[in-house]
A and B are shown apart, each in its own frame.
Chain A
Amino acid sequence: MGYPHTPHPRETLVLSKHFGEPEARTYRGWVKRGGYEGLKRALAMPPAAVVDEVKNSGLRGRGGAGFPTGLKWSFMPKERTKPHYLCVNADESEPGTFKDREIIRWTPHALLEGTLIAMHAIQADTAYIYIRGEFAEPQAILEQALAEARAAGVLGRFQIHVHRGAGAYICGEETALMNSLEGKRGVPRIKPPFPAAQGVFGMPTTINNVETLAAVPPIIVNGAKWYQAMCLSSPKSVGTKLFSVCGHVQKPGVYEVTLGFPLKDLIFELAGGMRSGRTLKACIPGGSSVPMLDRDESERCIMDYEGCATLGTMLGSGGVIVFDDSADMVYQVMRLARFYAHESCAQCTQCREGTAWTTRILERMLAGQGKPDDLDLLLDLSENMTGKTICVLSDSCAAPVVSAIKKFRGEFEAYLAGRSALVA
């Protein structure tokens, strides 16, 4: 999908309203569109009031975990005895996820404004925007916007630095990001201590996702009630969310809908449905780390935190990966496992060895050399890799394996019998 594009009538445009308008990237263009009004209002409020407003809005972290944003902010020490830091997680690396990229590319000032409001709320003077190494173009746009904002005097006493990652997926994990930012090897830290107590440089730190922060200015301008009213299902899942739909659909792209939107409609109406002559087979609703859904589940899935949980999966980052009936699920799962094996930071035994072993078993299976016990072995290995490590990379490798075996066992068994289910 390219820009400019005509939004689908069922989209709710808050974050993506100005996607496709090059003028919105400029400071002047952003102000013309009502930009920096939220910042102005937030700065007139005491920090605690900003935190409360965001808390009341019901905004939850859009990076994957869905932790209530205002609550996270409230964990920061009330009295500032040490420097406070804000980290902006722009290391969007989750396979299937490309929503933050579009925010940075089209509305960089929305991110900067949200960042400044958050800095005020948590009493931080310094923010680091940790941007994915591969995001060369978005980084250039962001730096340009930052320079303009700085020149316009918007930053005031706040300092914002853009730090470019070196291309490791694990650096999107919040504590690995902090290590990387400090110049250390990007490996997740043991928690506790949590970032609000000891984050980057050992100081109280809040870390937020790009989309989360971009949602803050409209909340300040329009009020918590306005945001909370955007709700189609559970009152715990409110506001809009960008979904990056990719895979076997007619119109892959980023779509903004109110939480609680049916996945089926997202795929079949907004993303234009399946490629011609093909039918829906499976869907990973929240980025590659979450369990996959089969066709029936996909058609029933409500896209909010609770709806996904009901089906045993997660809303995650909102990276929707759609598979049609041509997809070889064994191959797809192997590709995911190979990704995690490549990106494992090598700290925890289960992850370092387990992701690689999982990949080898799947590769062997695809080569027609699987062993009868391989499925049991994969499941047992996945069990070993779940809930036992410092971060969830290991769990993320296991989740698609387990869900695929559960839901598409026949395809795996076909490979074990020496043929692909698809060519049978």
Chain B
Amino acid sequence: MADALVNLTIDDQPVSVPKGTLVIEAAKQVGVLVPHYCYHPGLPIAGVCRMCLVEIEKAPKLQVACSTPVAEGMVVHTQTAPAKSGRQGVLELLLINHPLDCPICDQAGECELQDFTFQEGRPATRYTPDFPKRFNPVEDFGPDVLYVPNRCILCTRCVRFMEDVAKEPVLNVSERGDRAFIGMHPAARLDHPWAGNVVDLCPVGSLLSKDFLHRARAWELDKTASICTGCSQGCNVTLDTRQGVVVRVRPRVHLGVNRYFMCDHGRANYRWMNRGDRLDAPLVRDPDGHRAVDWDEALARVTRVLEGASGSAVVLASPRASTEALYLARSLVARFAWTGAYELVMGEEAPLAGVPDLALRAERAPNSTGADLLGYTADYAAALAAAERAAVVLVLDAPQVVLRPAGALLYLGTIPLEDPETRARAEALLPVANVAEEEGTFVNRDGRVQRYFQAKSAPGMTQPAWWVLSALGAALGGDEIGSAADAFAALAREVAPFEGLSYARLGYGGELVARAVPA
């Protein structure tokens, strides 16, 4: 529909965008980032920081790119002297009361005030030291939010998030003029289940996460695209790691899943990824207990067990198991009469009121849909009962399981089985990677298959579950599988809903599975 597009020129580059697009968004299309603070695509327009001043031909004065819609034939200049001097003026004014305590500020390195000042600010202030800077003490806003008013530039993103997105208006702008600060309702706390987003939204270091406080400098962090394991929503996240330790989880934009946000439950749900009490070498059972062995020996032992068994098999899987692992586990026991189940933990649902279809879901499992599509059930109790009688029980990272099975117990997990008696009965305990240490996919509640990537190395001899399971499969006469991508390709060939999908097609945005009836 070419006629619905508006043609304009931004910094001499022609661009066509849909009617109603804002100049600041149109500029992004041609690679021009107009400096801004109050504007955020996930929030209502405020137009208050006045940072995104640009020159628009035929307009009598500078315009703010964030609240000016495009018009046919519009000619926008972001780099002319008046535009730059207008923005430089804003930067200077934002800095007169800003403490410049970057060396001790968590935001340093990912601070938009730093970035734009570096880009186009004045080299020195004209606000002489005779004038004191505004000072207000740090405030404890909520379970994971600190407010450092001295650094605040009053962009009001946090206020608008709580008011228009969370729909719990507990923040406001209090006072007037240069005495203004972000105030909180005296009878309230910033404890909304999605409140942590204000920390991400804050363009400076004024709203801080207590969890991340002074944990790392931004430039030391490695960032890896991942999927939140907190519930079945499948929020896209970035795992921030420092020297192989996950130190922070932040939302990654996906307009179809979580937009710009993630909940505090998911945000806090990462410490287990760094556990030190890991199973980090394959263990096989001997008459006098378990013995650490190399992978060849461990795989040989398990292969022998599987070859020697007949009858039924039960797979008890973690709902955090990757689609690939679930598929390969199922293939491994396919020659038995097998059943598979996962333990679905339920919690309280916490929607983000201002965004349709976004909530911390009651099903606290990132891959229950994937498990369902692969024939696993959520009837964990029945599976546990069946496991006691089965010839083979394959436990996929469900360390809490308590079993006294008649048949062979095989365990793949990130940490050892917790119950000593169950552990003692395990034929083999094989160390596998957690979500931060491997590549894989989850299928969220909407049937979107989404990839997660490896953020850190796994401890010791740990291998991804897909590797362990495919190696066992190959030893039993199956195909050799060399990567998670190959494992997924095999799954896509065999399991109808995944037909036509591949890692390349999934990319960072994921794809919906073909499903006749949505769950």
Contact = CB atoms under 8 A, between A and B. Distances in A.
Contact of B90 (A343, A349, A360, A369): A349
A341 interface: yes
B48 interface: yes
B97 to A, nearest CB: 7
Contacts of B178: 341, 344, 346, 352-353, 355-356
A202 to B, nearest CB: 14
Contacts of B45: 190
Given A360-B131, A389-B50, A354 B176 contact: no
B62 A388 contact: yes
B173 interface: yes
Contact of A384 (B47, B51, B86): B86
A390 B48 contact: yes
B302 interface: no
Q: Which of A346, A350, A389 has the most CB of B within 10 A?
A: A346
Interface in A323-347: 341-347
Interface in A347-400: 347-350, 352-357, 360, 364, 369, 371, 373, 377, 383-384, 387-390
Given A384-B86, A388-B61, A346 B93 contact: no
A121 B176 CA distance: 37
Given A185-B173, A371-B128, A350 B180 contact: no
Interface in B273-311: none
A346 B174 CA distance: 9
B96 A341 contact: no
Contacts of B89: 350, 383-384, 388
Interface in B25-64: 45-51, 53, 61-62
Contact of A349 (B50, B127, B128, B130): B50
B141 to A, nearest CB: 19
Given A360-B131, A371-B128, A346 B176 contact: yes
Contacts of B180: 346, 352
A168 interface: yes
B249 interface: no
B443 interface: no
B48 A388 contact: no
A377 B96 CA distance: 14
Q: Which of A341, A349, A355, A373 has the most CB of B within 10 A?
A: A349
Contact of A348 (B50, B67, B92, B179): B50
A357 B179 CA distance: 12
B177 A356 contact: yes
B3 interface: no
B454 interface: no
A342 B175 CA distance: 10
A341 B97 CA distance: 15
B94 interface: yes
A349 B93 contact: yes
Contact of B130 (A185, A350, A369): A369
A178 B165 CA distance: 23
A349 B62 contact: no
Given A342-B177, A357-B96, A389-B50, A349 B153 contact: yes
B172 interface: yes
Nearest to B156: A347
Nearest to B126: A377
A358 B141 CA distance: 33
Interface in B152-177: 153-154, 172-173, 175-177
A342 B177 CA distance: 6
A345 B180 CA distance: 9
A170 B51 CA distance: 22
Contact of A347 (B48, B92, B179): B48
Contacts of B154: 346-347, 349, 352
A388 B53 contact: yes
Contact of A354 (B93, B172, B179): B93
Contacts of B51: 349
Nearest to A356: B178
A384 B179 CA distance: 20
Given A355-B177, A356-B178, A377-B126, A349 B131 contact: no
Nearest to B95: A353
A377 B130 CA distance: 15
Nearest to B93: A353
Contacts of B97: 353
Nearest to A342: B177
A71 B90 CA distance: 36
A348 B126 CA distance: 20
B177 A344 contact: yes
Interface string B464-475: 000000000000
B150 to A, nearest CB: 14
A353 B172 contact: no
A185 B172 contact: yes
Contact of A357 (B90, B93, B175): B93
B20 to A, nearest CB: 13
Given A369-B130, A387-B62, A388-B62, A348 B176 contact: no
B177 A388 contact: no
Contacts of B96: 353, 357
Nearest to A340: B177
B176 A343 contact: yes
Which 6 A/B pairs are nearest by Cβ-Cβ distance? A346-B180, A384-B89, A356-B178, A353-B93, A344-B177, A387-B61
24 contacts: A190-B45, A341-B177, A344-B178, A345-B177, A346-B154, A346-B177, A346-B179, A348-B48, A350-B89, A350-B90, A352-B93, A353-B93, A353-B97, A356-B177, A357-B93, A357-B96, A357-B131, A364-B130, A364-B131, A383-B89, A384-B93, A388-B50, A388-B62, A390-B47
Given A355-B177, A355-B178, A360-B131, 13 more contacts: A342-B176, A343-B177, A347-B48, A349-B94, A353-B97, A357-B93, A364-B130, A364-B131, A371-B128, A373-B126, A388-B90, A389-B50, A390-B48
